[in-house]
Amino acid sequence: MSGIELKAVSIRLANESIVHNVDLSIPSGAFLAVVGPNGSGKTTLLRAIYRAVKLSAGAIFIRDRDVSRIPMAAAARQRAVVPQFQDADVALTAADIVGTGRHTHTPWWAVQRPTEQDAVLDALQMAGAKELAGRMFGTLSGGERQRVLLARALAQKAETLLLDEPTNHLDARAQLELMELLSNLTLTRVAVLHDLDQALAYADLIAVMHAGQVVATGPPAEVLTNELTSKVFGVRSSIMKHPLTGRPHLLTAPLPDAAADVVPAAVRTY
């Protein structure tokens, strides 16, 4: 069974074609990183998976069920979302926010039960945010909020986890902790990432977007060639092993002429 399947997906917004004819298959339990230059359509594609934007053509399936035909309550059990922006102007504590992730399993009036509170604290602990439980959400820093939103998504215990630039706002150590945590989860995960090095080091698969199309997919070390990063991102690159951890890392350097206007043929589709 496929975790998530996109079939010939196209999206138009404000009369503009934003995503064109994307096919993507993410195996159940895999971690896919979506990368691409600014404005290439990554967030729009992710939002389509959680039904925040409508498709103009094609279809999206989570575990073989068409997401456009699923009742909202069932959809919330299908996918948990860590969005890029979240309104912080709410009179709720971090634990309250995480508790809203439990509403897919428990009626709102039962969220104060000890088992539910344990689930909330477990999720906060996993996201490295247990000490923030009693803090008002609006008083938290950007990085602290990000961890609370991750905890809310984990508390939801959905079949898939969708994250939009989850390492934004996090300091160096918190970024590594988050990527470690994400790479060790066993549910199907899709994360929009800007950091190609993080995508290479932690994701199972990568999809590269350029001008609304997916131009390459496959294992990150096979996809992130110097040729691809030159053409799509306008940077030279090479992959090196970290001397301490042995993990692969992507080093980048400017191109003499950083024009990135050639779309390469797909490296591999799966």
Ligand X SMILES: Nc1ncnc2c1ncn2[C@@H]1O[C@H](COP(=O)(O)OP(=O)(O)OP(=O)(O)O)[C@@H](O)[C@H]1O
- Which residues contact ligand X by CB under 6 A? 13-14, 16, 18, 36, 38-44
Provide the residue type at 127 as one letter: A
Instruction: Give strand ranges (E) for 63-167.
Output: 65-66, 79-82, 160-164
Nearer to ligand X, 42 or 147 (CB): 42
User: At closest approach, how far in Å is the CB of 192 from ligand X?
Assistant: 6
CB atoms within 10 A of CB 100: 16
**214 - beta bridge partners?**
209
HEC states along 56-78?
CEEEEEECCEEHHHCCHHHHHHH
User: At closest approach, how far in Å is the CB of 49 from ligand X?
Assistant: 12
User: At closest approach, how far in Å is the CB of 46 from ligand X?
Assistant: 8
User: At closest approach, how far in Å is the CB of 165 from ligand X?
Assistant: 7
CB atoms within 10 A of CB 65: 14
- How far apart are alpha carbons 25 and 270 in whole angstroms? 7
Nearer to ligand X, 12 or 236 (CB): 12
User: At closest approach, how far in Å is the CB of 16 from ligand X?
Assistant: 6
Q: Which has the closest alpha carbon to 42: 179, 206, 225?
A: 206
Nearer to ligand X, 132 or 193 (CB): 193
Nearer to ligand X, 4 or 208 (CB): 208
User: At closest approach, how far in Å is the CB of 79 from ligand X?
Assistant: 18
Instruction: State how far Cα 30 lies from the chain centre.
Output: 12
Residue 155 phi/psi, 5-degree rounding, is -65, -25
Nearer to ligand X, 20 or 135 (CB): 20
Distance set, CA 42 to CA 15, 20, 190, 211 (Å):
18, 12, 11, 10
User: At closest approach, how far in Å is the CB of 42 from ligand X?
Assistant: 4
User: At closest approach, how far in Å is the CB of 138 from ligand X?
Assistant: 24
Contact residues for 251 (Cβ-Cβ < 8 A; gap 6+): 237, 238, 239, 240
- How far apart are alpha carbons 155 and 150 in whole angstroms? 9
DSSP label of 257: S
Nearer to ligand X, 85 or 109 (CB): 85
Residue 139's SS3 state is helix
Nearer to ligand X, 18 or 150 (CB): 18
Residue 91's SS3 state is coil
Nearer to ligand X, 116 or 195 (CB): 195
